[in-house]
Amino acid sequence: GQSLEQPSEVTAVEGAIVQINCTYQTSGFYGLSWYQQHDGGAPTFLSYNALDGLEETGRFSSFLSRSDSYGYLLLQELQMKDSASYFCAVKAGGYNKLIFGAGTRLAVHP
Alpha helices per DSSP H over the chain: none
Report the distance separating Cα 54 and Cα 69, nearest Å: 14
The number of residues that bind other proteins (CB under 8 A) is: 21
Q: Which of 18, 71, 87, 104 binds other proteins (CB under 8 A)?
A: 87
Contact in structure between 34 and 86 (CB atoms under 8 Å) = yes
Q: Does 31 bind other proteins (CB under 8 A)?
A: yes
Per CB under 8 A, which region of 9-17, 19-27, 70-78, 89-97 contacts other proteins?
A: 89-97
Contact criterion met (CB below 8 Å) for 81 and 59: no
Distance, CA of 88 to CA of 23 (rounded, Å): 9
Exactly one of 12, 19, 29, 48 binds other proteins (CB under 8 A); that residue is: 48
State the amino acid at position 27 in one-letter form. Answer: S
Q: Considering only the stretches 9-17, 19-27, 36-44, 71-79, report the one whose residues sit in contact with other proteins under the rule CB under 8 A.
A: 36-44
Name the residues that contact other proteins, by CB under 8 A: 30-31, 33, 41-45, 47-48, 87, 91, 95-103
